[in-house]
Structure 1
Amino acid sequence: MTHRRAVALMVLVTLLWSVAGVVTRHLDAARSFEVTFWRSAFNALALVVALGWLRGPALWSGLVHGGRAVWISGVCWAVMYTAFMVALTLTSVANVLVTMALSPVLTALFSRLFLGHVLPLRSWLAIVVAGGGIAWMFGTQAGEGASLLGSLVAFAVPLAGAINLTVLQHAGADPTKTQDMLPAVLIGALLSACATLPLAWPFEASSHDLGLLALLGMVQLAVPCLLMVRLSRELPAPEIALLALLEVVFGVAWAWLGAGEQPSASVLLGGGLVLLALVANESLALRQTRQAGCALTAAQRGD
């Protein structure tokens, strides 16, 4: 897979992830832990079908004998699934997404500490600029009385995401060992559904709600999460986390257009900085790739 195709697929992943907030705002009766349960349950159902088709009977042995990395990743997925939806019930979509955008900083630190990855200067600069935009949005919203509890719950998402990406990169670092990490996505969905089931009872979701939650579980979670696991073999963890910031921009835009949650000027300014950092980083990466390709071609021709 080329770098350009991997980046394009990661953008698609963020686009699919970003619809959660606006869809949640159109639920009739389902709230809090019931929303989380149904989304995780439908996610698990879709993953059982998809992974059962891809892996066959080996899927279940992979769950049982997957090893420590698979289960750590599964727990991380469960935390992300659960904390994200609970946070959406406590504060605005923009505030949740802004808090989640701390992921690149955490991922870069974890990759440097635990994997020894050396980031190019352009990526560090992009992280600093994007982090500045996030800090501006967060500080202004906190000053306006945004829910700090919702932000604290949402913080579990980038923290678990950074750990998960580090584990995925570590599992794929040894080319002699092919560690199947796809079952971890299913483990996360099952753990999240089981943990929230007692808190979700009694159910109040309408048939309309169940349709929307099935859409979230299957399209907003199952498909992009499987894609992200695959892309962890193609892109460095910090770059994946940096590209994932597009979810902030997409998610705020969807909530504005589809649910009437108009973002403040601070959110628009901070989101603009995030988008600028991403475009600059990926443009420089593409330029360096082209220059390296031209140099290699010239060397092969003996120029």
Structure 2
Amino acid sequence: MTHSRAVALMILVTLMWSIAGVVTRQLDAAPAFEVNFWRSLCNAAGLFMALSAMRGPDFLRGLAAARWPVWVSSLCWAAMFTAFMIALTLTTVANVLVTLAVGPLITALFARLFLGHRLPLRTWAAIALGGAGIAWMFGREAAAGASLTGSLVAFTVPVAAAINWTLLQSIAGESADDGAKPPDMLPAILVGALLSAFLTLPFAWPLQASLHDVALLALLGVVQLAIPCLLVVRLSRELPAAEIALLGLLEVLFGVTWAWLGAGEQPSPATLTGGCLVIAALILNEMLAIRQKRAALAPP
């Protein structure tokens, strides 16, 4: 795969991720927990078919003997899937996406705390700037009397993601040190989707969603989750992590634009200011990292 094709596919991934907000706003009247149930169930169905094609029909046998990291990662995926959809029903799309955008900075901080990774000064500065952006957005919302419940629920997603990525980094490091084959972590996404669906089923019962709502949530489960997850795993072999993180920021821009044009959700000034601070921190950190890497690889 050429670099330009990999970049184009990553942009397509962010486009698919970004439709969640505007599609959710087209639902008739499905309650929050039922929204998550149908989306996660359809995501699990899509992942099951894809993994069966990729790994063969016996991949479930391997899952039964999976090591503990697979199950911890599954819990993280379940928390991410559930909190994201519930947050979308409690606050604006822009607030959710800006809160999610701080994820790479939390991951960097967790890597420092739990893996002992040394963080360069630019990353500490980015963490401070991104944190200031989130604090500004939350503070202005609280001052205006708006409910912070949705934003706080959304904050669960980057925290769970940071735990998940830190776990995956730890596994990769241990496997590289002892030469062992790392566990297959793709089934963890499937288990996380199933956990998300069935843990919210008691709160969603009795199911009330219309056929229209179920069709839209099936679209989200397959197109907005299952397919992009598999594509990102493939692209991680073609693009460096810094470039994937940088391109992933397009989800915020695309998602806010879709919600603005398709659902009439105009982001508040506080959200725009906080979002600009978070995105500026991420872009500056990743661009400096890419520049430093290129300088290190350049011939003397």
TM-score interval, smaller chain: 0.7 to 0.9
CA distance in 1: counterparts of 2:232 and 2:165, whole angstroms: 9
Equivalent residue, structure 2, for 1:89: 89
Q: What's the CA shift for 1:23?
A: 0.8
1:208 to 212, 216, 224: 212
Does structure 2 conserve the Cα–Cα contact (< 8 Å) formed by 1:243 and 1:278?
A: no
Counterpart of 1:248 (choices 234, 246, 252) is: 252
Q: 8 Å contact 2:243–2:286 — kept in the other structure?
A: no
Distance 2:68 2:200 in 1: 24
Letter in 1 for 2:27: L
- Identity value in percent: 65
Gaps of 5+ in 2: none
Show the counterpart of 1:70.
70
Deviation at 1:33, TM superposition (A): 0.8
Distance change >3 Å, CA 50–CA 241, structure 1 → 2: same
Query: Which has the higher mean CA deviation after the structures are superposed, 199-208 or 48-57?
Result: 199-208
Matched, 1:292 2:283: no
Superposition deviation, residue 242 in structure 1:
6.9
1:192 to 190, 193, 196: 196
1:30 Cα deviation (Å)? 1.5
Assess if the C-alpha contact under 8 Å between 2:42 and 2:222 holds in 1: yes
Q: Indicate the larger mover: 74-83 or 165-174.
A: 165-174
Query: How far apart are 1:145 and its partner, in Å?
Result: 2.3
| Greater CA drift, 275-284 or 65-74 | 275-284
User: What CA distance in whole angstroms lies between the structure 1 residues aligned with 2:131 and 2:7?
Assistant: 21
Mapped contact 2:16–2:228 kept (Cα < 8 A): yes
> Once the 2 structures are TM-superposed, how far is the Cα of residue 184 of structure 1 from its aligned partner?
0.4
Structure 1 segments unaligned to the other structure (5+ residues): 299-303
2:46–2:222 contact (8 Å) kept in structure 1: yes
Alpha-carbon separation, structure 1, partners of 2:273 and 2:5: 29
Match of 1:48 in 2: 48
Q: Quick one: distance in 2 between partners of 1:3 and 1:73?
A: 29
Deviations 1:142-176 (A, max 9, x none): 22222222223222212211111111112222232
Number of residues of Structure 1 aligned to a counterpart in Structure 2: 295
Displacement of 1:14: 3.6
Equivalent residues of 2:80, 2:157 under 8 A apart: yes
Q: 1:256-267 counterparts in 2 under 5 A?
A: 256-267=260-271
How large is the Cα RMSD of the aligned pairs?
A: 2.7
With 221-230 and 14-23 compared, the bigger mean Cα shift is at 221-230
| Partner Cα separation in structure 2 for residue 285 and residue 4 of structure 1 | 20
